[in-house]
């Protein structure tokens, strides 16, 4: 069974997924950060594949991308770093990034490398669902790698149904149409979250973009299965010098009840 | 009973071939030119882009739209732009060179053909805020201009580097009432300005229309912009017929940044095999120098700004920074139509270095009394490299005037 599916089977509420950029702050931090996150009882992790021109990202993640690239990170190197990580890490792990680096790597070798290293799912925001259905779906399914799609408050119900039918593992509900890291008032999105719940989707829903602390996390969790934190975590990584301890207190702070 | 037309067999055959060819170079319903194009956009942009894709053809083909568009092009832009037989330039290259004078348009470049079309479209879509990216500032000025005309607020993103080298255009945009926002990421040029404009659109999904300045971006932009710019070749055909008795030139030459003046220049000749189509990219310091913007020469297929096209990139799929003296050509991609014309061989893509362009600009100035934009000078720079015959007809799209480049010309041509 895919680890993402297993996670949602075992736990329906308050799922916390953390995003960080591979190769940031230091080139070889990937495994160390994964271990610290697991130690802090994080439910799931999204590792960002750095890209020079990520359209959906705000300044903080853009900056992390540039720093990672400057450090020498590449998709090839990321897979090398991930070799053997399943000996230590049990959480579901997702790769997230722009389409072009994946295309240059070659979609088939990419999915094979995902499978071989133990990656469970992929989020490629600029891969449209129709393109996926036509050209990529069978490749993903043959490797049992979930392709997770985004929806926004502007996504029509009809399209939501389609995305639900094609998305694997969960649906990534962007809190409101924006780039990553924007300040927003989660309470204003109540109607949207409620709609998602009432639609009785086949997939669980995680909210992302603008979740930055316990407060916003709690609000998202009132309506959905959990949330994703990216920008706020990247910022936290920048401030601490004892990374392990810092990550631990960050996660505990979010999850506290 | 429907009327039956009898075509003679050869005409019928010609029609079939034309149809097939038309299919080859026209965009598909999903936005593809062969393997290039498409709409690789995050879900946040989907409703806006989808609305455009569904409605653009219907709106553009409305009679009322066409009437308003054509009237503005005539009375506001000053079209048709002249087709000028450049006698002294022709003498020098021992052939017949016509210049399509887009430099004489209101605001000084071809860019306004597209912004007039898109602002009329934005109005019909009920949009109340306009954003744009700009490189040389010509598209920014053309957008700020139509926004003043239509009383819409306008934000233009421009790379920090370009704001310095095209300072007069920054001042023009501001005088026209636009807000100019500096793009400070990456190479701080056109690519980065486009990133910022797209991010703005993601953050303003309801009220905003993004007026893209070239035949780039997700479907339907490449086709939509090409249609608005196609007035260039529509006029050339008529003007050549009047002047030479033949509506087809032997060569159609245009510079290529994203490729909108070239797409407009090629558009109505795509199915006429006799017409050799030449696009000229910016080589910067030279294609092998690592400081270049000659995408078809050094690029590979990839995805930039929502479109699959030829792209300058690293092995790891990171987009490389382009380099050109000309801010309008300083872009690491080309529109998907050009990628397709390149791949199929229907058009030939050459490139000109910074120095070649500067020399060509000086040459045109001294021979014809016309100071061209640095972008257009790249197209002129290849006249020396092609063996023309004395009876051939060459058309060069003079996409813009050189006022904005005077700083660069003064600095570079003095030494
Ligand atoms: C005068 C002029 N020509 C050409 C270009 C390049 O654009 P395109 O390749 O879309 O025609 C620009 C862009 O700023 C321009 O200002």
Identify the bridge partners of residue A208 per DSSP, sorted by sequence position: A174
Average pLDDT value for residue range B391-411? 96
A199 lies in which domain range?
3-255
User: Is any ligand 1 atom within 6 A of the Cβ of residue B376?
Assistant: yes
Which tokens belong to A103?
A: 């295309």
Q: B188 to chain A: nearest residue by CA? A: A53
Between B187 and A41, name the one with better pLDDT. Answer: A41
CA nearest to A186, candidates A228, A219, A141, A231: A219
Nearest to B215 by CA among B257, B253, B256, B260: B260
Nearest to B200 by CA among A156, A55, A225, A141: A55
Vertex B353: Cα angle to B278 and B302 (nearest 5): 65
- B123 alpha-carbon distance from chain centroid: 23
Instruction: Determine the average pLDDT of the residues in B381-396.
Output: 97
Q: What is the pLDDT of residue B28?
A: 94
* CB of B284 closer than 6 angstroms to any ligand 1 atom: no
> If you take atom 4 of ligand 1, which residue's CA is the nearest one?
B375
Confidence at residue A239, expressed as pLDDT on a 0 to 100 scale: 81
If residue B134 lies in a helix (H) or strand (E), which one and from where to where?
strand B129-134
Peptide bond into B220 cis (omega under 30): yes
Total structural domains within chain A: 1
Q: Which residues 204-233 of chain A have a CB within 8 Å of chain B?
A: none
| Residue B177 token pair | 């009432």
Contact B229, B117 (CB under 8 A): no
pLDDT at B145: 98
3 state SS of B400: strand
Residue B43 is nearest to which of A75, A101, A151, comparing CB atoms?
Answer: A151
Instruction: State whether B43 and A155 contact (CB < 8 Å).
Output: yes
Q: What are the distances in angstroms from CA A14 to CA A31, A156, A256? A: 25, 26, 11
Using DSSP's 3-state secondary structure scheme, residue A205 falls into strand
In chain B, what percentage of residues exceed pLDDT 90? 92
List, for residues B211-225, the tens digit of each pLDDT value. Answer: 999 999 999 999 999
From the list A55, A154, A159, the residue facing B199 with the nearest CB is A55
Q: Does B317 touch chain A (CB under 8 A)?
A: yes
- From the CA of B229, give the closest atom in ligand 1: 11
Q: Identify the helix (H) or strand (E) that includes residue A190.
A: helix A190-198
Average pLDDT over residues B120-130: 98
pLDDT at B165: 86
- Of residues B90, B102, B133, B404, which has the active-site annotation? B133
Measured between CA atoms, the residue of chain B closest to residue A58 is B199
A35 a catalytic residue: no
| DSSP class of B290 | S
DSSP label of B294: -
Q: Is A97 on the interface with B (CB under 8 A)?
A: no
Instruction: Specify which residues A49 forms β-bridges with.
Output: A97
pLDDT interval class at B11 (50, 70, 90): very low
Check if B51 is active-site. no
pLDDT surpasses 60 at B20: no
pLDDT of B2: 39
The percentage of residues in chain B with a pLDDT greater than 70, rounded to a whole number, is 94
- The two structure tokens encoding residue B59: 């709106």
pLDDT band at A241 (very low <50, low <70, confident <90, very high): confident
**Closest alpha carbon within chain A to B303:** A100
Residue A133 contacts B where some CB pair is shorter than 8 Å: no
Return the ∠ at Cα A70 (arms to A64 and A72), rounded to 5°: 110
Question: What is the Å distance from ligand 1's center to B324 Cα?
Answer: 13
- For residue B377, give the nearest of B394, B348, B355 by alpha carbon: B355
Kindly state if the Cβ of B373 falls inside 6 Å of ligand 1.
yes
Q: Domain containing A13 — which CATH number? A: 3.20.20.70
A177 touches chain B (CB under 8 A): yes
> What is the rounded distance in angstroms from the CA atom of residue B113 to the CA atom of residue B385?
30
* Interface predicted TM-score of the whole assembly (ipTM), two decimals: 0.95
Q: Which of A57, A131, A133, A218 is catalytic?
A: A57
The pLDDT tens digits for B313-343 are 999 999 999 999 999 999 999 999 999 999 9
Q: Is the pLDDT of residue B22 over 70?
A: no
- CA B247 → CA B87, B190, B383, distances in Å? 19, 35, 21
Strand partners, B349: B279
Beta strands in A66-220, from DSSP E residues, in sequence order: 93-97, 121-123, 146-147, 150-151, 171-174, 205-208
**Is some CB atom of chain B closer than 8 A to the CB atom of A155?**
yes
A100 touches chain B (CB under 8 A): yes
Give the nearest chain A residue to B305 (CA atoms). A55
Average pLDDT of the segment spanning B289-311: 97
- Ligand 1 binding pocket includes B121 (Cβ within 6 Å): no
No. of H helices and E strands in chain B? 17, 14
Residues B59-95 have pLDDT tens digits of 999 999 999 999 999 999 999 999 999 999 999 999 9
Give the span between the Cα atoms of B264 and B312, in whole angstroms: 24
Could you read off the pLDDT of A116-173 as tens digits, one per residue? 999 999 999 999 999 999 999 999 999 999 999 999 999 999 999 999 999 999 999 9
Is the confidence at residue B15, as pLDDT, over 90?
no
The minimum CA-CA distance between A73 and chain B, rounded to whole Å, is: 9
Average pLDDT over residues B179-207: 95
Residue B4 pLDDT more than 50?
no
Contacts of B317 in chain A (CB under 8 A): 51, 75, 100-105
Give the residue from A126, A130, A123, A175 showing the smallest Cα distance to A149.
A123
Nearest chain A alpha carbon to B300: A104
pLDDT in tens, A171-223: 999 999 899 999 888 888 999 999 999 999 999 999 999 999 999 999 999 99
Q: How far is the CA of B375 from the centre of ligand 1 (A)?
A: 6
- With bands split at pLDDT 50, 70 and 90, how would you rate the model's confidence at B21? low
Task: Give chain A positions within 8 Å (CB) of B43.
Answer: 125, 149-152, 155, 163, 174
Which residues on adjacent β-strands are paired with residue B97?
Answer: B394
Task: Give the nearest ligand 1 atom to B137 CA.
Answer: 14
Question: What is the mean predicted confidence (pLDDT) over A80-97?
Answer: 98
Residue B42 sits at the chain A interface (C-beta within 8 Å): yes
Distance separating alpha carbons of residues B352 and B277, to the nearest angstrom: 16
- Which of chain A's residues have a Cβ under 8 Å away from the Cβ of B202? 55-56, 177-179
The pair phi, psi for residue A21, each rounded to 5°, is -90, 130
**Which residues does chain A have within 8 Å of residue B131's beta carbon, measured at their own beta carbons?**
none
**Contact: A126, B41; criterion CB under 8 Å:** yes
Nearest by CB to B191, from A53, A58, A156: name it: A53
Question: In angstroms, what separates the C-alpha of A156 from chain B's closest C-alpha?
Answer: 9
Q: Please, which pLDDT band fits residue A242 given cuts at 50, 70 and 90?
A: confident
Between CA B112 and CA B77 the distance in angstroms is 7
What pLDDT is stored for residue B19 in this prediction?
53
Identify the residue whose C-alpha is closest to ligand 1 atom 15.
B328
| pLDDT for B6 beyond 50 | no
Does A125 touch chain B if contact means CB atoms closer than 8 Å? yes
Q: Does B232 sit in the ligand 1 pocket, CB within 6 Å?
A: no
A155 and B317 in contact by Cβ < 8 A?
no
Which single residue is written with the structure tokens 């995003």? A19
């Amino acid at each position: 069974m895919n680890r993402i599916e297993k996670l949602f089977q075992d736990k329906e509420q308050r799922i916390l997924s953390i995003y960080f950029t591979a190769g940031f702050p230091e080139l070889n931090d990937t495994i160390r950060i994964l271990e610290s996150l697991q130690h802090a009882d994080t439910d799931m992790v999204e590792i960002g594949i750095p890209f020079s021109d990520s359209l959906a990202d705000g300044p903080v993640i853009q900056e992390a991308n540039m720093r990672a690239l400057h450090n020498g990170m590449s998709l090839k190197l990321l897979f090398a770093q991930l070799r053997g990580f399943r000996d230590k890490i049990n959480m579901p792990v997702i790769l997230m990034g722009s389409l072009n680096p994946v295309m240059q790597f070659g979609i088939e070798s990419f999915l094979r490398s995902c499978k071989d290293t133990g990656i469970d799912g992929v989020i490629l925001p600029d891969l449209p669902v129709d393109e996926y259905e036509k050209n990529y779906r069978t490749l993903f399914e043959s490797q049992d790698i979930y392709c997770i799609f985004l929806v926004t408050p502007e996504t029509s119900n009809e399209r939501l149904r389609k995305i639900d039918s094609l998305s694997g593992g969960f649906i990534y509900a962007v809190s409101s149409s924006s780039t990553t890291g924007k300040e927003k008032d989660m309470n204003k999105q109540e109607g949207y979250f409620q709609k998602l719940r009432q639609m009785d989707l086949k997939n669980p829903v995680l909210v992302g973009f603008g979740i930055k602390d316990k407060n916003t996390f709690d609000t998202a969790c009132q309506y959905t299965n959990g949330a994703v934190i990216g920008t706020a975590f990247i910022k936290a990584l920048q401030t601490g010098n004892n990374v392990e301890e810092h990550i631990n207190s960050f996660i505990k702070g979010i999850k506290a009840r | 009973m429907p009327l039956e037309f009898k075509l003679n067999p050869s005409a019928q055959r010609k029609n079939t071939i034309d149809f097939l060819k038309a299919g080859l170079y026209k965009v598909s319903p999903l936005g593809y030119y062969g393997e290039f194009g498409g709409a690789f956009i995050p879900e946040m942009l989907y409703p806006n882009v989808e609305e455009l894709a569904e409605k653009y053809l219907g709106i553009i083909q409305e009679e009322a739209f066409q009437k308003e568009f054509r009237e503005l092009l005539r009375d506001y832009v000053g079209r048709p732009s002249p087709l000028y037989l450049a006698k002294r330039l022709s003498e020098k290259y021992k052939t017949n060179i016509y210049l399509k004078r887009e430099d004489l348009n209101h605001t000084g470049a071809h860019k306004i053909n597209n912004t007039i079309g898109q602002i009329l479209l934005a109005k019909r879509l009920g949009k109340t805020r306009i954003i744009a990216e700009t490189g040389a500032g010509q598209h920014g000025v053309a957008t700020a201009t139509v926004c003043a005309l239509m009383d819409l607020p306008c934000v233009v993103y421009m790379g920090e580097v370009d704001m310095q080298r095209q300072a007069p255009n920054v001042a023009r945009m501001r005088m026209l009432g636009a807000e100019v926002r500096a793009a400070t990421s990456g190479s701080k040029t056109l690519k980065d300005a486009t990133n910022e404009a797209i991010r703005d659109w993601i953050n303003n999904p309801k009220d905003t229309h993004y007026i893209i300045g070239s035949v780039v971006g997700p479907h339907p932009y490449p086709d939509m912009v090409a249609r608005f710019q196609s007035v260039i070749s529509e006029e050339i055909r008529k003007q050549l017929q009047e002047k030479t008795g033949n509506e087809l030139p032997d060569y159609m030459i245009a510079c290529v940044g994203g490729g909108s003046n070239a797409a407009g220049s090629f558009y109505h000749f795509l199915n006429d095999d006799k017409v050799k189509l030449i696009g000229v990219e910016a080589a910067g310091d030279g294609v092998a120098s690592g400081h270049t913007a000659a995408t078809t020469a050094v690029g590979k297929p990839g995805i930039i700004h929502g479109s699959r096209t030829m792209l300058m990139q690293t092995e790891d799929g990171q987009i490389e920074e382009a380099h050109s003296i000309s801010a309008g050509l300083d872009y690491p991609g080309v529109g998907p139509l050009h990628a397709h014309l390149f791949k199929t061989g229907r058009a030939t893509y050459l490139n000109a270095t910074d120095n070649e362009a500067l020399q060509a600009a000086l040459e045109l100035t001294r021979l014809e009394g016309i100071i061209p934009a640095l972008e257009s000078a790249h197209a002129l720079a290849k006249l020396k490299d092609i063996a023309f015959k004395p009876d051939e007809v060459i058309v060069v799209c003079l996409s813009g005037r050189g006022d904005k480049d005077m700083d660069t010309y003064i600095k570079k041509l003095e030494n």
